[in-house]
């Protein structure tokens, strides 16, 4: 008799857990899982939690170029580059999507730096799941990756670089070439 009662309770728990016992049961939407992968075609994808508690899925980002920057609030070079990256993001608009990935700090510390610098691009919290993607085994910060619109890794930048170098590499991925005016002609 005790076994029958235990089985009845167990079945009841299972039925209500999966919504079978209540026809009006509405399941809550689940957060997307945190993951990282590199396919055989070199396409990179991941899902990470943002500092706002959302989940950013790289494959859902729509831009000609994606700049991933891995940084830490305690890194002087990272702090120095943030204003330049904000300028590039503004200059290139919809062509460029910047995603910051804070490392080696608590979410609270990462959020504080984002607020301090008025970062308006998405900031995610680093998760060791990214180590599954061979190119994302970060050994130092800042580390930047430029991905094309198909999320294929096109360039990797280690350490601090001047804004003009970063912009030149961005233009290369965008396929933009500078056209200089000849003959001293001026606009206007």
For the chain, the domain total comes to 1
Q: Residue 182 has what pLDDT?
A: 42
Say if CB 96 and CB 167 are below 8 A apart: no
In a domain, 5, yes or no: no
Q: Residue 16 has what pLDDT?
A: 35
As given in the structure block, the two tokens for residue 94 are: 């919809």
Residue 146 pLDDT level (bands cut at 50, 70, 90): very high
Q: Residue 21 above 70 pLDDT?
A: no
pTM across the whole model? 0.72
Residue 22 CA: distances (Å) to CA of 10, 12, 18, 56: 16, 11, 9, 33
Least confident of 14-23, 96-105, 178-187: 14-23
In a domain, 184, yes or no: no
Q: Residue 9 above 50 pLDDT?
A: no
In a domain, 19, yes or no: no
In the chain, DSSP assigns E strands to 35-38, 44-49, 55-57, 65-71, 96-102, 122-125, 143-148, 153-158
Q: Residue 186 has what pLDDT?
A: 42
Is pLDDT larger for residue 42 or for residue 86?
86
Say if CB 125 and CB 106 are below 8 A apart: no
The parent domain of residue 127 ranges over 30-174
Is pLDDT larger for residue 40 or for residue 96?
96
Max CA pair span of the chain? 99
In a domain, 185, yes or no: no
CATH label of the domain that carries residue 106: 3.40.30.10
Q: What is the mean pLDDT of residues 154-181?
A: 83
Angle between helices 163-174 and 76-92 (to 10 degrees): 40
Is residue 22 helix, strand or coil?
A: coil
In a domain, 49, yes or no: yes
Q: Residue 123 above 70 pLDDT?
A: yes
In a domain, 183, yes or no: no
Q: Residue 169 above 90 pLDDT?
A: yes
Least confident of 23-37, 74-88, 89-103: 23-37
In a domain, 7, yes or no: no
In a domain, 143, yes or no: yes
Say if CB 155 and CB 172 are below 8 A apart: yes
Average pLDDT, the chain: 76
Least confident of 11-20, 55-64, 85-94, 98-107: 11-20
């Amino acid at each position: 008799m005790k076994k029958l009662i235990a089985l009845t309770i167990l079945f009841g728990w299972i039925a209500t857990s999966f919504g079978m016992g209540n026809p009006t049961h509405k399941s809550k939407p689940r957060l997307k899982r945190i993951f990282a992968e590199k396919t055989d075609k070199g396409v990179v994808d991941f899902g990470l939690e943002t500092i706002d508690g959302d989940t950013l899925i790289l494959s859902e980002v729509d831009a000609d170029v994606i700049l991933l920057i891995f940084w830490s609030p305690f890194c002087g070079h990272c702090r120095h580059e943030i204003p330049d990256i904000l300028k590039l993001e503004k200059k290139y608009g919809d062509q460029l999507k910047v995603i910051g990935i804070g490392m080696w700090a608590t979410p609270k510390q990462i959020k504080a730096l984002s607020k301090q610098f008025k970062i308006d691009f998405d900031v995610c919290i680093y998760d060791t799941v990214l180590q599954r993607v061979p190119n994302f085994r970060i050994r130092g910060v800042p580390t930047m990756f430029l991905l094309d619109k198909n999320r294929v890794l096109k360039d990797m930048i280690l350490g601090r670089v001047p804004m003009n170098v970063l912009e030149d590499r961005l233009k290369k991925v965008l396929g933009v070439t500078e056209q200089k005016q000849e003959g001293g002609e001026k606009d206007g």
